[in-house]
């Protein structure tokens, strides 16, 4: 969950590291630090957000140099304090190390080092690795070999970067179950947790595989595996530009990313629909026609996208689909076979729970497909196939544009499988394809209600609890809306299937209780509209304040709703993509009205790379 940057080249390292850390701060923001080699190795590190480190570097500058590493932390072992911030020093301050992940056997390794007389200054697991690399460096006088000796003894997940004053111009990195990519420059090279770390300087990148060690100098990149064998890393071109990873004048990354929801859908479809047929680069749906079961695995918002996808895949491709939280899937010995397709959904492509579930699924013989937003990420590389969502970099911790892109990608998958297995009604599929192509323009009109939703959020700044109801594909939208309210506005929010109301949740309704209701279209083929309107009447009769997200002109809702946020007329599978946007805006504006940090909510990190 931490962000890592490494640099060797002619530029001043400080600027490169701070710029990279700024774009990686979404990964963790409770402390930050840098280590730079000039005449000697110098470090600065501070608890708090990156700005605190920037201020420290102004108040207490270090000598800039051409080799450096930087870290932004999301605390696991040890409180977010100055001493626990990375880099960690060893070898009398000549070696600096940064770490993302958890070293599970650190206690035993620490005991060994303490017995040898090593003194620890922090409470972190990471400091163990620093002292171990220093010990091996003394033995080998080679930083790469020292790293190789150390990783052989570590259990858990880690990305490590290390520099040593006696090896200026060299940064060595290693990774296991934690991300690290290489940026290739001319006369300079970079390492980063993801490409955002160096996108300002280069779009040429290399993906480092599992259990590999990379050594960069300004002119050279070498990669070996943990056994010391030479490895040729996979090249890729970064398609994001630096402006995509910056705020671009918006008040927050989240505001910018919500505004990009139409583009996220458009870019995820782009080039993938030809004459009404879905064709996804590198993905051959005919290879899946013998699949008899699909399990979608994901966490958080990605799991709710998966739940929307389930309704679509089952209806169009006529294959049973389950949706499971990755962390539950892996530990319950699920029944799967070589005809089971595991579809993982992950914005970051690094979520540890999902990564481990994918690995487990492969081990037990399932086929694996990744829906992912991040090039060079681990989950797609551990999967048999990948469908990239093209939402662009998502920096705000709360996932928004990635959600609509994930739903879009799942729809493309559903249509592609249905077209390949011939089970779907071709007219229905053709209509869905047309509707998907029209969705970005419809999303633009939903965004026009932003100011009104902001006003609503301001009125409701003191609200303590919010309920959300939805049915069919509206149900996952209720869950997604509730998650956003919890993580951003820190209020209790609960999403329910509207049909479940009378089975218990209606007891929560008392006068003044705010309830958002996602209302299906009056034209919906299953007549769910009437049932949801009846739910609205039931809660209204008990004094609830109803905010309906309903189709433009839905007269049946008006008499019973305190507020109606209209969405354009659309087919039932497009509605969830439209209805989620007002909820994203509302959660953001409610948090802003309460004076909370919209992009970096408390206790959370964007990418959860520990279990």
Question: Shortest gap between Cβ of 267 and ligand M6R (angstroms)?
Answer: 17
| Structure tokens, 566 | 């209209």
DSSP H or E stretch at residue 431:
helix 426-447
Of 91-99, 329-337, 345-353, 562-570: span binding ligand M6R (CB under 6 A): 345-353
Site string for ligand M6R, 287-306 (x = CB under 6 A): ------------xxxx----
Instruction: Report the residue number, 405 or 564, with the smaller CB distance to ligand M6R.
Output: 405
Give the helix, strand, coil percentages of the chain, each rounded to 5. Answer: 40, 25, 35
Which residues have CB under 8 Å from 303's CB, separation 6+? 296, 323, 325, 326, 345
CA 606, CA 25: separation in Å to the nearest integer?
A: 9
| Structure tokens, 343 | 């579809």
Token pair 């035993």: residue: 108
Question: Shortest gap between Cβ of 303 and ligand M6R (angstroms)?
Answer: 8
Question: Shortest gap between Cβ of 302 and ligand M6R (angstroms)?
Answer: 4
Report strand pairing: 221-225 vs 212-216: antiparallel
Contact assessment for residue 89 and residue 96, using Cβ atoms and an 8 Å cutoff: yes
Instruction: Report the residue number, 164 or 584, with the smaller CB distance to ligand M6R.
Output: 584
Instruction: Report the residue number, 397 or 415, with the smaller CB distance to ligand M6R.
Output: 397
Q: Which of 45, 110, 484, 606 is catalytic?
A: 606
Contact with ligand M6R (CB under 6 A) among 14, 31, 167, 347 = 347
Residues contacting ligand M6R: total by CB under 6 A: 16
What is the torsional sign of CA 386, 388, 389, 392? positive
Q: In 10 A of CB 530, how many CB atoms? A: 12
Work out the widest C-alpha separation in the chain, in whole angstroms: 79
Contact with ligand M6R (CB under 6 A) among 224, 258, 280, 608 = 608
Contact with ligand M6R (CB under 6 A) among 351, 378, 521, 535 = 351
| Structure tokens, 447 | 């965004």
Question: Shortest gap between Cβ of 299 and ligand M6R (angstroms)?
Answer: 4
Question: Shortest gap between Cβ of 490 and ligand M6R (angstroms)?
Answer: 14
Rounded to 5°, angle at Cα 3 from 87 and 600 = 115
Of 152-160, 173-181, 348-356, 416-424: span binding ligand M6R (CB under 6 A): 348-356
Q: Which of 504, 463, 460, 498 is nearest to 479 (CA)?
A: 498
Instruction: Report the residue number, 84 or 399, with the smaller CB distance to ligand M6R.
Output: 399
Question: Shortest gap between Cβ of 356 and ligand M6R (angstroms)?
Answer: 12
Mark whether 606 is an active-site residue.
Answer: yes
Contact with ligand M6R (CB under 6 A) among 348, 370, 378, 571 = 348
Residue showing the smallest CB distance to ligand M6R in the complex: 300
User: Does residue 354 bind ligand M6R (CB under 6 A)?
Assistant: yes
User: Does residue 13 bind ligand M6R (CB under 6 A)?
Assistant: no
Q: Which of residues 476-495 bind ligand M6R (CB under 6 A)?
A: 483, 487
Contact assessment for residue 143 and residue 215, using Cβ atoms and an 8 Å cutoff: yes
User: Does residue 346 bind ligand M6R (CB under 6 A)?
Assistant: yes
Of 23-31, 80-88, 342-350, 495-503: span binding ligand M6R (CB under 6 A): 342-350
Q: Which of residues 27-86 bind ligand M6R (CB under 6 A)?
A: none
User: Does residue 398 bind ligand M6R (CB under 6 A)?
Assistant: yes
Helix (H, G, I), strand (E, B) or coil at 117: coil
Contact assessment for residue 14 and residue 64, using Cβ atoms and an 8 Å cutoff: yes
Question: Shortest gap between Cβ of 181 and ligand M6R (angstroms)?
Answer: 16
Side-chain-side CA neighbours of residue 575 (13 Å) = 31
Which residues have CB under 8 Å from 99's CB, separation 6+? 2, 71, 86, 88, 124, 125, 126, 129, 158, 159, 160
Of 189-197, 343-351, 363-371, 541-549: span binding ligand M6R (CB under 6 A): 343-351
* Residues near ligand M6R, by CB under 6 A: 299-302, 346-348, 351, 354, 397-399, 483, 487, 607-608
Catalytic center residues: 2, 606
């Amino acid at each position: 969950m931490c962000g890592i940057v490494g640099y060797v080249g002619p530029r001043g390292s400080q600027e490169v590291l701070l710029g990279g850390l700024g774009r990686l701060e979404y990964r963790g923001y409770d402390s930050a630090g840098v280590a730079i080699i000039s005449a000697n190795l110098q470090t600065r590190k501070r608890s708090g957000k990156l700005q605190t480190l920037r201020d420290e570097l102004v108040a207490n500058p270090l000598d800039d140099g051409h080799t450096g590493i930087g870290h932004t932390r999301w605390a696991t072992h040890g409180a977010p304090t100055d001493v626990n911030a990375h880099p960690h020093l060893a070898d009398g301050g000549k070696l600096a190390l940064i770490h993302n992940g958890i070293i599970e056997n650190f206690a035993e390794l620490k005991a060994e080092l303490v017995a040898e007389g090593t003194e620890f200054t922090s409470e972190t697991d990471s400091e163990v690795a620093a002292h171990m690399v220093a010990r091996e460096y003394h033995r080998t006088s080679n930083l790469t070999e020292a790293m190789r000796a150390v990783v052989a003894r570590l259990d858990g997940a880690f990305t490590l970067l290390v520099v040593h004053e006696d090896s200026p111009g060299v940064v060595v990195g290693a990774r296991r179950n934690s991300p690290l990519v290489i940026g290739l420059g001319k006369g300079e090279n970079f390492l980063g947790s993801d490409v955002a770390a160096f996108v300002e300087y280069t779009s040429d990148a290399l993906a480092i595989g599992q259990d590999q060690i990379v050594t960069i100098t300004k002119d050279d990149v070498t990669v070996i595996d943990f056994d010391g064998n030479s490895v040729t890393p996979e090249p890729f071109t970064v398609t994001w530009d630096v402006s995509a990873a910056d705020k671009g004048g918006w008040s927050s990354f989240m505001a910018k990313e919500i505004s990009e929801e139409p583009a996220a859908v458009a870019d995820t479809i782009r080039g993938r629909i030809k004459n009404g047929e879905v064709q996804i680069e590198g993905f051959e749906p005919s290879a899946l026609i013998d699949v008899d079961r699909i399990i979608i695995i994901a966490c958080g918002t990605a799991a709710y996208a998966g739940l929307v996808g389930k309704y679509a895949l089952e209806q169009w491709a006529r294959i049973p689909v389950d949706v499971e939280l990755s962390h539950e899937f892996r530990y319950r010995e699920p029944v799967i076979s070589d005809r089971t397709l595991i579809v993982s959904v992950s914005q970051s492509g690094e979520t540890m729970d999902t990564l481990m579930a994918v690995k487990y699924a492969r081990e037990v013989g399932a086929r694996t497909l990744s829906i992912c937003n991040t090039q060079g990420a681990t989950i797609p590389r551990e999967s048999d196939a990948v469908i990239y969502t093209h939402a662009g970099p998502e920096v705000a911790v709360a996932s928004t544009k990635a959600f609509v892109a994930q739903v879009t990608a799942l729809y493309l998958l559903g249509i592609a499988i249905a077209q390949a297995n011939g089970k779907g009604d071709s007219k229905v599929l053709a209509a869905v394809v047309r509707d998907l192509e029209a969705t970005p323009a419809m999303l633009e009109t939903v965004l026009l209600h932003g100011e009104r939703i902001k006003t609503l959020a301001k009125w409701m700044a003191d609200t303590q609890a919010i309920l959300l109801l939805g049915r069919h594909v509206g149900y996952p939208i209720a869950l997604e809306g509730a998650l956003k309210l919890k993580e951003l506005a820190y209020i209790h929010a609960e999403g329910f299937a509207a049909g479940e109301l009378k089975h218990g949740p209606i007891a929560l309704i008392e006068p003044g209780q705010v309830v958002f209701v996602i209302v299906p279209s009056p034209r919906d083929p299953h007549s769910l509209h009437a049932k949801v309107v009846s739910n609205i009447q039931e809660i209204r009769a008990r004094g609830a304040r109803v905010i309906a997200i309903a189709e433009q002109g839905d007269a049946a809702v008006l008499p019973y709703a305190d507020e109606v946020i209209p969405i354009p007329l659309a087919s039932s599978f497009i509605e969830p993509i439209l209805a989620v946007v007002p909820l994203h805006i509302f959660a953001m504006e409610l948090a802003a009205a309460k004076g909370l940090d919209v992009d970096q909510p408390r206790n959370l990190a964007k990418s959860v790379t520990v279990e």
